[in-house]
A and B are shown apart, each in its own frame.
Chain A
């Protein structure tokens, strides 16, 4: 992975971070969460467009809204701690599962992460960087398709020179331990 070809997934990060780094190999320096906190609105001018309410109604006394906005910053900080500081190297790391995870585990991990990283999710509000969810979904797309997963596993092996990191492939059977600890909202084992 020494030569990163031009692609928009890398390019986008360059736009966002160009003020902070002149390096071409920015990808390796960004964790999903730092890119979140650094992302700028792409259309700052649009955000200021006033959309005044001009319907001629008699003034109504405003009722104080009792809606509770989520404690965003605290939430995100909490997640920061759980995330590795470097960019995940493999799709398994994106989904935070072991390489021998079962199809059910992959699906479960995907939904758990979707709950956190999807831009609509109640846990992560407007600060969210959507790239994260796209990355998670792309990883899920590949790993949930058995043939695509097999091809990907092969490419992983050849990328590592066919040796060295085989240990992760033959990891002991306790793979489910990791995600059992991290599940937060799901009540059951089977899906």
Chain B
């Protein structure tokens, strides 16, 4: 029996609290994208991207299962396209990680040439790879961990030392629960997450460094600069507005959505073969092969449409099913009109949230795999009133370079030339609050609050002599509680009997620089300055899978009996 490819080194879900003493090791920046991945680190004078044995800086993010030894895209020499057809390869794990089977993104992933099965009740989807005509089950965390182990081996072989600390880039729209899944995958691979950076904020840090270097060269240009960063990869589209001066990048607003190259690809596949959804439903070996063939052909066509105005798609799916079609760029843009509209709305939303007028934006930066698509470049430029796009960043390497810079900065590395005299003041991408005032979501820490953050709100009881209250913590932007991600819940007991509206229930939320969230709740009776009962402190997220079920069960069992309302007369 062969050794398993990875060993779970720590079952602890808590990877946050960092040790002050580990700061001597420089953290590696890793950008694991939905389709591609890259690694970079601060070399002492600049950021360097690490290459795999095939001399590639950008590697495909996938894992192929064969027998007992899965192998990832880090060092595998086989071409992705051939392997994808067999059903043994799992990819797009970044789209699947931390999602339940009612999520539309999971449903859209059923078109992938491996098994994604849903029961549509709010549990983990069943994911499996076809190995020797047998479905071998796995999880997105496991796939990611296998990939990270390979990545780690590659880095360690090159650096000739062990590595532990990493800075990973993540999509803006990831919930805190999804972030814990990424941390879990890293822990499984023996890596410690120093920071999880939203992708555009990593780009913002690189931009801050470039601006600072420019400022050094020509004195007098150290003014505050506002940059809009648009990052669209295969899985996610993220926007950030940042204000930069003197190496300090302050994130003013973030916006993100689960749209990306994968959606463009699926829309195109449906366009080329309208019945493709039904065709692949049963996931037979032959169907998987067809699905793979169509995927590869469509992907190639989209890539070619970035440089030419029309493309000939010619693919034989077997059993007399052939696609022979000319697709031009307008057709591609029309098929994906909704995706591009969503991109525009994200930019507009982000500028609005940042309270920045388009005219005040100094630089517009477009990065990510989709930045090669002419329509994407145009829509960003047009939304920013025709501003010329920022040059001087490699669209595929910018996020990983930013992550490597953050790795060096957060590891306490000093650069004598001041190239690491940098700082990112992160902002919360989603609001965090509790359920109160009926079924409303009441944010305690609003969206786009600078981190570290600490905010509190005072609530009170809705019934006379209410001695217990349920604090249900959500994250998101929805007005109703259930439209948001459930992070956890706890009950306050022993509230002194009093008329409704009297006890002051103080709910405090604290996010530290490592993005660890703690929720504290204390009860104070009017006229007293001391808490009436011991204060509760809970680290969140504390819920595991099946968040939907949790909230429903709480509602069913308690209804409004343990509810709270906001206390208006207290700030």
Q: Does A111 contact B (CB under 8 A)?
A: yes
B161 and A11 contacting across the interface, CB-CB below 8 Å: no
A115 to B506, CA, bound (A): 32
Q: Does B555 contact A (CB under 8 A)?
A: no
Q: Please indicate the chain A residues that have their CB under 8 angstroms from the CB of B9 in the complex.
A: 51-54
Categorize the interface residue count of chain A: 35 or more
Interface residues of B in 146-173 (CB under 8 A from A): 149, 152-153, 156-157, 159-162, 164
Closest B residue, CB atoms, query A190: B223
B506 and A57 contacting across the interface, CB-CB below 8 Å: no
Q: Does A93 contact B (CB under 8 A)?
A: no
B530 and A111 contacting across the interface, CB-CB below 8 Å: no
Q: Please indicate the chain B residues that have their CB under 8 angstroms from the CB of A67 in the complex.
A: 24-26, 411, 413
A134 to B25, CA, bound (A): 27
Q: Does A88 contact B (CB under 8 A)?
A: no
Query: How far is the CB of A50 from the nearest CB of chain B, in Å?
Result: 8
A143 to B436, CA, bound (A): 31
B535 and A11 contacting across the interface, CB-CB below 8 Å: yes
Closest B residue, CB atoms, query A111: B248
B156 and A11 contacting across the interface, CB-CB below 8 Å: no
B156 and A57 contacting across the interface, CB-CB below 8 Å: yes
Q: Given the known inter-chain contacts A49-B12, A54-B7, please indicate yes or no for A8 contacting B245, CB distance below 8 A.
A: no
Which secondary structure characterizes the binding site on chain A? loop
Interface residues of A in 76-128 (CB under 8 A from B): 107, 111, 114-115, 118-122, 125-127
A120 and B410 contacting across the interface, CB-CB below 8 Å: yes
Q: Does A170 contact B (CB under 8 A)?
A: no
Q: Given the known inter-chain contacts A120-B513, A191-B246, please indicate yes or no for A8 contacting B508, CB distance below 8 A.
A: yes
Which residue in A46, A47, A191 is a CB contact (below 8 Å) of B224?
A191
A-B contact pairs, 19 of them (CB 8 A): A6-B506, A7-B506, A42-B17, A43-B17, A47-B17, A50-B10, A60-B160, A62-B162, A63-B160, A65-B24, A66-B44, A120-B513, A122-B421, A122-B423, A126-B18, A130-B452, A186-B245, A188-B220, A190-B223
Query: How far is the CB of A174 from the nearest CB of chain B, in Å?
Result: 23
Q: Please indicate the chain B residues that have their CB under 8 angstroms from the CB of A1 in the complex.
A: none
B424 and A6 contacting across the interface, CB-CB below 8 Å: no
**Interface residue ranges, B against A (CB under 8 Å):** 3, 6-7, 9-10, 12, 14, 17-20, 23-26, 44, 149, 152-153, 156-157, 159-162, 164, 187, 189-190, 192, 215-216, 219-224, 245-248, 250, 409-414, 418, 420-425, 450, 452-454, 456, 504, 506, 508, 510, 512-513, 520, 522, 524, 528-531, 535
Q: Please indicate the chain B residues that have their CB under 8 angstroms from the CB of A119 in the complex.
A: 452, 512-513
Q: Does A70 contact B (CB under 8 A)?
A: yes
Q: Please indicate the chain B residues that have their CB under 8 angstroms from the CB of A122 in the complex.
A: 409, 412-414, 420-423
A131 to B455, CA, bound (A): 11
B425 and A114 contacting across the interface, CB-CB below 8 Å: yes
Query: How far is the CB of B560 from the nearest CB of chain A, in Å?
Result: 26
Interface residues of A in 116-162 (CB under 8 A from B): 118-122, 125-127, 130-131, 133-134, 137, 141
A61 to B157, CA, bound (A): 10
A61 to B250, CA, bound (A): 41
Closest A residue, CB atoms, query B452: A130
A69 and B513 contacting across the interface, CB-CB below 8 Å: no
Q: Does A9 contact B (CB under 8 A)?
A: yes
A118 to B425, CA, bound (A): 8
Query: How far is the CB of A100 from the nearest CB of chain B, in Å?
Result: 21
A55 and B149 contacting across the interface, CB-CB below 8 Å: yes
**Interface residue ranges, A against B (CB under 8 Å):** 3-9, 11, 24, 41-43, 46-47, 49-57, 60-63, 65-70, 107, 111, 114-115, 118-122, 125-127, 130-131, 133-134, 137, 141, 185-188, 190-191
Q: Given the known inter-chain contacts A69-B23, A187-B215, please indicate yes or no for A46 contacting B14, CB distance below 8 A.
A: yes
Q: Please indicate the chain B residues that have their CB under 8 angstroms from the CB of A49 in the complex.
A: 10, 12
Closest B residue, CB atoms, query A58: B157
B246 and A186 contacting across the interface, CB-CB below 8 Å: yes
Query: How far is the CB of A179 from the nearest CB of chain B, in Å?
Result: 13
A186 and B508 contacting across the interface, CB-CB below 8 Å: no
B161 and A62 contacting across the interface, CB-CB below 8 Å: yes
Query: How far is the CB of B28 from the nearest CB of chain A, in Å?
Result: 13
Closest A residue, CB atoms, query B530: A6
Closest B residue, CB atoms, query A137: B450
Given contacts A51-B187, A55-B153, A118-B513, 12 further A-B contacts (CB under 8 A): A6-B529, A7-B506, A8-B456, A8-B506, A46-B17, A49-B10, A55-B156, A61-B160, A65-B161, A67-B25, A130-B513, A137-B425
Q: Given the known inter-chain contacts A65-B24, A125-B20, please indicate yes or no for A70 contacting B412, CB distance below 8 A.
A: yes
A115 to B9, CA, bound (A): 36
Q: Given the known inter-chain contacts A9-B454, A122-B414, please indicate yes or no for A57 contacting B153, CB distance below 8 A.
A: yes
A6 and B216 contacting across the interface, CB-CB below 8 Å: no
Which residue in B156, B220, B412, B420 is a CB contact (below 8 Å) of A69?
B412
Q: Please indicate the chain A residues that have their CB under 8 angstroms from the CB of B160 in the complex.
A: 60-63
Query: How far is the CB of A62 from the nearest CB of chain B, in Å?
Result: 5
Query: How far is the CB of B120 from the nearest CB of chain A, in Å?
Result: 37
Q: Please indicate the chain A residues that have their CB under 8 angstroms from the CB of B153 in the complex.
A: 55, 57
Among A61, A70, A187: residue with most chain B CB under 10 A: A187
The 6 A-B pairs of least Cβ separation, nearest first, read A188-B222, A126-B20, A119-B513, A8-B508, A191-B224, A191-B245
